[in-house]
């Protein structure tokens, strides 16, 4: 009698064929595509894999990342993107224009960026370019809410991008400079760009610098609620002088230079707060240099009710390539002492009820900290809550602290930054 069992090899082949058929018939399995090619010429297998995934995705919403650092983007890749961009949900492009002859970028603009993108929600462009070959998303992007742009001149954004960006609520601009009076033309374009986002609630600026430009119309952003500025030492005066927002409630400033000489804030800017609704001030990366400005900051932003300080090894001041970064000197006691000094200088934060400190560089001395809390309250600061890493505080010290102030575990209270949305 013959053995009715199917041979193992045939069984495996049948199962593999079955699962392959299921996979090919399931578009959602092919919706996250990552193309990263650092070699020249591009590997044919890599390009074919991406185009195959795009084809198998059919009409399912797609998240696609494309990085081609040292080569032109292959034409077949451009064509495949053009064929499928209508169901892209997230698109990230990193293509350095300097090593591209421009042909393939023109193809993107003439084909892919002329298609309708009804599903696109997030778009990141990292490419230093002086001028776009044409308009971006000329058929509109009605659901586009998150945009991250690096290396694009402001006039280029204004002329080629703004019509498609009217629904954007979250914007990051990086890799540009507004440094002195010679940049007045760039400033006007910068102003027109920012004010061309009517729904903007979240703005991140990572500019090389932004100097204050007087006798120029303000940048008025009536819907803005959160502003994050990188390189604060060089840009803070420009922000205070040039920006106006009645709805801004949170301001995050990162990158306080340890080698910045003199006061960062110009006292002449402190006549009127540009953000009357501001309640939460976040200081990061070099807080020991930021706390020197507490008097000026308190005068500029008098209604702050929460102060968050990012300190410790993950919040070092930038060195700009000149030797090692100095060790952070700030601690929760230093922050309290700086606040007390500002109050003694006539600038108390009379609404400040919460202080958050991300790290402790030394063990908490509960008796000292309790005394500082009392001194700060006596200086017309109604402090009620301290947020610190509670795991770093002994049980005895915590018990003593909680007799004087509410102590909770640290939370920065920041909205998610755009870099974490991709």
CA dihedral defined by 340, 346, 347, 349, rounded to 10 degrees?
Answer: 60
Nearest CA among 268, 299, 266, 267 for reference residue 281: 299
Name the DSSP letter for residue 195.
T
- Tokens 């990342």 — which residue? 65
Q: Strand, coil or helix: what is 389?
A: coil
- In this structure, the number of other CB atoms found within 10 A of the CB of residue 1 comes to 3
Which pTM does this prediction carry? Answer: 0.85
- Tokens 């080629």 — which residue? 160
- In this structure, the number of other CB atoms found within 10 A of the CB of residue 409 comes to 11
**264 alpha-carbon distance from chain centroid:** 23
pLDDT at 30: 75
Distance between CA 242 and CA 45 in Å, rounded?
51
CB 187 within 8 A of CB 216: yes
CB 199 within 8 A of CB 176: no
pLDDT at 326: 44
CB 102 within 8 A of CB 402: no
pLDDT in tens for each of the 422 residues of the chain?
A: 445 565 555 555 555 656 556 656 666 777 788 888 766 555 667 778 888 888 887 788 999 998 877 666 777 888 888 888 999 999 999 887 655 555 667 778 888 898 899 999 999 998 877 777 788 998 989 999 999 999 888 888 999 999 999 999 999 999 876 655 556 677 888 999 999 999 999 999 987 666 666 667 889 999 999 999 887 556 677 787 789 999 999 999 887 655 444 455 665 555 567 899 999 999 887 777 778 888 888 888 999 999 999 875 444 333 333 333 444 456 889 999 999 999 998 888 999 999 999 888 888 899 999 999 999 999 999 999 999 999 989 999 999 999 999 999 999 888 999 988 88
Q: Which residues pair with 170 in a beta bridge?
A: 146, 202
CB 39 within 8 A of CB 72: no
Q: Strand, coil or helix: what is 49?
A: helix
Q: 311-320 burial string, b = 16+ CB within 10 Å, else e? A: bbeebbbbee
Helix, strand, coil shares of the chain as percentages rounded to 5? 35, 20, 45
- In this structure, the number of other CB atoms found within 10 A of the CB of residue 421 comes to 16
Distance between CA 108 and CA 77 in Å, rounded?
10
């Amino acid at each position: 009698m013959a053995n009715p069992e199917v041979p193992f090899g045939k069984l495996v082949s049948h199962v593999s064929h079955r699962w392959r058929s299921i996979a090919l018939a399931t578009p959602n399995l092919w919706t996250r595509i990552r193309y990263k090619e650092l070699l020249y010429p591009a590997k044919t297998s890599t390009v074919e894999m991406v185009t195959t995934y795009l084809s198998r995705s059919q009409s399912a919403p797609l998240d696609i990342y494309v990085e081609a650092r040292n080569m032109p983007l292959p034409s077949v890749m451009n064509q495949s993107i053009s064929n499928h961009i209508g169901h892209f949900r997230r698109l990230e492009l990193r293509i350095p224009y300097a090593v591209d002859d421009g042909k393939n970028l023109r193809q993107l603009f003439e084909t892919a960026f002329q298609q309708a993108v009804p599903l696109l929600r997030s778009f990141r462009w990292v490419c230093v370019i002086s001028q776009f070959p044409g308009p971006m998303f000329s058929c509109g992007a009605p659901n586009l809410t998150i945009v991250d742009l690096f290396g694009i001149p402001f006039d280029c954004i204004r002329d080629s991008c703004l019509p498609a960006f009217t629904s954007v609520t979250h914007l990051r601009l990086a890799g540009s400079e507004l440094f002195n009076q010679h940049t007045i033309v760039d400033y006007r374009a910068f102003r027109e760009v920012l004010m061309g986002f009517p729904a903007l609630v979240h703005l991140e600026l990572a500019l090389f610098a932004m100097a204050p430009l007087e006798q120029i119309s303000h940048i008025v952003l009536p819907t803005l609620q959160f502003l994050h500025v990188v390189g604060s030492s060089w840009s803070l005066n420009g922000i205070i002088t040039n920006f106006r927002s009645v709805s801004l409630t949170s301001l995050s400033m990162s990158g306080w230079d340890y080698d910045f000489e003199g006061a960062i804030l110009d006292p002449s800017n402190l006549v009127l707060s540009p953000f009357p609704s501001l309640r939460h001030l976040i200081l990061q990366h070099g807080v020991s240099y930021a706390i020197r400005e507490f008097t000026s900051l308190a005068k500029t932003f008098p209604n702050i009710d929460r102060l968050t300080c990012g300190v410790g090894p993950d919040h070092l001041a930038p060195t700009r390539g000149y030797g090692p970064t100095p060790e952070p000197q700030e601690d929760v006691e230093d922050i309290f002492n700086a606040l007390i000094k500002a109050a003694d200088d006539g600038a108390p934060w009379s609404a400040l009820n919460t202080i958050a400190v991300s790290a402790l560089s030394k063990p908490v001395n509960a008796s000292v900290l309790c005394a500082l809390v009392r001194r700060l309250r006596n200086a017309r600061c109604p402090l009620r809550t301290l947020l610190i890493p509670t795991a770093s505080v002994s049980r005895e010290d915590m018990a003593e602290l909680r007799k004087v102030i509410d102590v909770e575990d640290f939370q920065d209270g920041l909205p998610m930054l755009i870099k974490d949305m991709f």
